[in-house]
Amino acid sequence: MTKLVVKAGKDATLEEREKFKELVLRDPQVAPNGLSGRIAQAHLLAFLYKDGELVVTGAVKCNPEHQAHVAENSGISLPQAEYLGEIGIYILRTVTEGRVMATK
């Protein structure tokens, strides 16, 4: 059975946040320093379970400093009222021939 759970980072249980972190850290591009805080502060966290196992994570992050940086670099206005956040930290766990892999 497949189950999708979406909630604010602050509303996720400690166990959910730890499982999210464990899967996300399979990606070597993810900086581990401060990750627990970023997970807790995420606008939304998504957890996709298959047969009770967490197989996909996702997040919507709202970081005004990053928003300003993106706007400046792109030359496009990103008004706060229209900027929900950015999708990030999406990890898919797949099992291939008994090996667990994570992709971004």
Q: What global pTM score does this model have?
A: 0.75
Q: How far apart are CA 58 and CA 4, in angstroms?
A: 11
Q: What pLDDT is stored for residue 91 in this prediction?
A: 72
pLDDT tens-digit map of 8-62: 999 999 999 999 999 989 888 888 999 999 999 999 999 999 999 999 999 998 8
Q: What pLDDT is stored for residue 63 in this prediction?
A: 78
Provide the pLDDT confidence category of residue 94 given band limits of 50, 70 and 90: low
Q: How far apart are CA 53 and CA 15, in angstroms?
A: 13
Q: What pLDDT is stored for residue 19 in this prediction?
A: 95
Domain boundaries, the chain: 2-103
Q: How far apart are CA 43 and CA 66, in angstroms?
A: 14
